[in-house]
Structures are given as structure tokens and as C-alpha cells.
Amino acid sequence: MAQRTAKKKKGAKTEKARKPWGGRFTEATNALVEEYTASIQYDWRLFPYDIAGSVAHAAMLGKTGIITEREARKIINGLKGILQEITDGKLEFSMELEDIHMNIENRLVRKIGPVGGKLHTARSRNDQVALDLRMYLRDEIMEIRRLLRGLQKTVIGLADRNQDAVMPGYTHLQRAQPVLFGHHLLAYYEMFERDRDRLADCYRRVNIMPLGAGALAGTVLPINRKMVGDLLGFGGIAENSMDAVSDRDFAVEFVSVCSQIMVHLSRLAEELVLWSSAEFGFITIADAYTTGSSIMPQKKNPDVAELSRGKAGRVFGNLTALLTIMKGLPLSYNRDMQEDKEPVFDTADTVSQALAVMAAMLDSITVHRDAMRHAAEDGFITATDLADYLVRKGLPFRQAHEVVGRAVLKALELTCGLKDLPLAEYKKLSALITSDVYRSLSVDASVGRRISYGGTAPANLKKRLAALKKLVK
């Protein structure tokens, strides 16, 4: 594996000559400053993008005659060799060379000689780093969209296998109306679909090619930005050189979309924590996705779900960090912007991991339908159905609500549920109530009648599942 950590040799004198920018300096960089300003410890992972970007840039320099085709070929071959060296773990990165861009360029010059120094013609690290980050994010966005789709498939599978499971639906975490477990689960399908959509939209703005902006003002050399953009598969070219090097909207947007994904994962995680508790007893999470306690031998804890909830905080922190880094920066590039990498990388890593583990864990759960149904058969959960029964008999809803409220009071007094309240008691509350009322009070009738579009009826679930299974195939 690659030696991806930049090692700082203790007491080593920093050689001014090694710095690509060392010309106007007479003093070596202070060792603390060297460490403080370096980003190679984390930006090494941009290397495949940095090299791909440089290959395209070199090809363009050759094609436009800014360098000779021969020089371009030499540079490109050198870069391909370096890609192999890094992949094989044979290139040791150096902190003295600050970042991945200068580490690679330095290696190129050592490898192919002074002609390597022509690569940075008509380019600056400011447009280079923007390019690398955009290319990195394109891949991450595609990967996260793929992981979201995987999780959607898990959700669909679980709903499909448990089509007949009924559970209490909640508002205020109080039992509200019975719903199908599958219907509840498919709510998450919708959230993840919106997340996928947001990522696709974010991708359009990430997929803009900044190279050719130079440091900030463009270049006097006859470059062909369109060619570089096409070679790298970009959808467009940044219109304004200053915007190209100062813009990090695309990174903020990515972390923002990821924050929303984490909100969804965190809410699902919270439900799994609740459902797997003894108090609910709706599900059991497989051993492989839980952990034990070092002191209480009986414990089996939903740590994976808890961490998914907790890691949301981490991603929101990254969003706040990025926004705060950017908010006071005058145009164009400022070194503050180097601080964008860690929040972006951490966000992509955290979200990818959270999505993968959530899909696996969710697939592992055992659903306790009896416990769910038992909870759904709570004495008053079909109160709305009773009101709707009266509405069907012509009573205005507000009056029906009042009648049912009084029925609930009466049932509480008699310590029974609505379906055990004698017909005589119902008759006292409303003459409209007849013996057919009891049919409206069952959980299955309640769920079965909710056939309004998007409602929880089994017929709806079946239809929706069939459509989704086709869609995600």
C-alpha cells in the first residue's frame, strides 16, 4: 500500500532550492510553518485527479504548440509512470513540497528532467486544485448516488417481505393511526430519492472546468480550455477566471446535500433504536450489527444506528466549517481555502460509510409482526375511523370529532377500548351509530380503507412496490 503519510524528518534543514516557488526567497521556511501550511497529509488522495488533469493539460499544451508534441508526450508518459508509482506505494510524499500538486510536479522533474518544468505552463495551483476537487467530487457524487440506490433497494425488499405487517403510525411519538410497516418504510425511499435528485443537480455545477483561469486573471498563452474540458469529460467551462479559482459553492453544496442525507439516515437510525428497544419490541437487529456492554452481560446495543445518528453531527459540522471558511474571503484565491479539503473528504467518507452500513443493517433486521400489530391494536387508535364513520352518515366532521372525543372519555372511564364500548353507550352519544360501527373500528379496516392516493392501504402499497421494483431494477 502506498506510503501516504508525509514524514517530516526531525531536524532536517529545509532546502530552499526544493521549493518550486523558492526563487525570491533567501531564507528557508520555518519548520513550524512548513508543517502548518502543508496539506499533503490529506490531499494526497487527489492524486488520480491531479494526474488526469495534468495529462489533459499537457496534451493541450502540445496540441496548441505552447510546448512541442514531443515534450507533451514525455510529460504524459512521466505522469503515467508517477500514477503507477503512487498506486504501488513507491512514492514517498514530502511535507516540504506542501501538497499533492507540488509533490507530483517535483517527482516529474526528477523523473524526466527539466522538460517536466514545462507542465505548469499556463497553469497555477489555484486553478489546478479547483480542478482536482471538482473531479474528485464527480466520482464521490456518483458513488453516493449508487449507495443511496442500494439502500432504496433494501428498503423496498424489506417492505416487500413484510407487506402485511401493521404497526401504529405516530405523531408526537404518540400512537395516531394504524399504518402498514411497508408504507412507513417507503417514506424513506422517497427521502433517498430526493437526495439522489439533489446530488444529480449538484453534479451539474460541480461538472464545470476551471483550468485555464491561471492564478486568477487568465493567461497570455494561446490555450484551448474547451479541449481540456472535453478531454476530462466536463459539461462546461468556467466563464470567469476569478470565479473559477475562488468558487467553492460546489463543495458547500455537496456537503449541504450530504447533510440532508445524514438527517434522513439519522431519523431512520432513531427509529431503529426505538423499535429495537424492549419498550417497542418491533424489530431485532442482527447480532452482526450490534455490540455488547463491557459491564452488563445481557446488553445488546444498537451502536451502529446510534453512530449513524451521531455522525450526522459531524457532517453538519463540516458544512458549518466550509461556510465559515468562505464567508469573509475577498476574491480571488486565499490560502484559507486549503481548509476546504478535510471537511469535504470527511463528509464523503462519512456519508458513504453510513449508507453502506445502514443498508446492510436494515437488511438484517427481524420484524416482529405480532408485537407491531399488538401495539397497533391500542384501544383508541381507530378513533379517526369512528369519526369518519359518522361523517359517512352525514354528520359534519367537527361534530363527529366531538362525539368520538366523548366516546374516548367514556371508554377511559370504563377502562376499555373503543371496540369494546357497548352499543348502548354509543347510542347515547349519537343516534347515527348502529351495530355496523364495530366494523369500522378494526385495525385492518382502518388501514384497508385508506386508499386515497399515497395513503397506507395494502392495495396502494402493493401497487407502489410493483412500480418501484421495476424502477430500481
Closest CA to 249 of 144, 140, 329, 335: 329
- 29 belongs to the binding site for ligand ARG (CB under 6 A): no
Among residue numbers 198 through 217, which ones bind ligand ARG (CB under 6 A)?
Answer: none
- 385 belongs to the binding site for ligand ARG (CB under 6 A): no
Closest contact distance (angstroms) between CB of 37 and ligand ARG is 8
Question: Residues near 32 by Cβ (< 8 Å), separated by ≥ 6?
Answer: none
Helices within 328-457 (DSSP H only): 341-364, 369-376, 383-392, 397-413, 423-429, 437-440, 443-449
Closest contact distance (angstroms) between CB of 337 and ligand ARG is 5
How many CB atoms sit inside 10 A of residue 287's CB? 10
Closest contact distance (angstroms) between CB of 245 and ligand ARG is 9
Closest contact distance (angstroms) between CB of 273 and ligand ARG is 39
Cell numbers placing 191? 427521502
- 129 belongs to the binding site for ligand ARG (CB under 6 A): yes
Q: Which of 184, 293, 352, 374 is catalytic?
A: 293
Among 96, 99, 127, 253, binds ligand ARG (CB under 6 A): 99
d(CA 459, CA 452): 10
Q: Is 277 a catalytic residue?
A: no
Q: Write the secondary structure of 212-277 as one string of H (helix), E (strand) and C (coil).
A: CCCCCCCCCCCCCHHHHHHHCCCCEECCCHHHHHHCCHHHHHHHHHHHHHHHHHHHHHHHHHHHCC
Among 29, 332, 338, 456, binds ligand ARG (CB under 6 A): 338
Nearer to ligand ARG among residue 72 and residue 337 (C-beta): 337
- 95 belongs to the binding site for ligand ARG (CB under 6 A): no
3-state helix, strand, coil split of the chain in percent (to 5) is 65, 5, 30
Closest contact distance (angstroms) between CB of 99 and ligand ARG is 4
Q: Is 172 a catalytic residue?
A: yes
Closest contact distance (angstroms) between CB of 213 and ligand ARG is 12
Nearer to ligand ARG among residue 338 and residue 456 (C-beta): 338
Q: Which of 57, 94, 124, 172 is catalytic?
A: 172
Counting residues that bind ligand ARG (by CB under 6 A) gives: 10
Spacing of C-alpha 78 from chain mean position: 36
Options 51-59, 121-129, 230-238, 279-287: segment touching ligand ARG (CB under 6 A): 121-129
CB environment 139-165: b (16+ within 10 A), e (fewer) = ebbeebbebbbbbbbbbbbbbbebeeb
Residues that bind ligand ARG (CB under 6 A): 39, 43, 99, 125-126, 129, 333, 335, 337-338
What residues are labeled active site? Answer: 172, 293
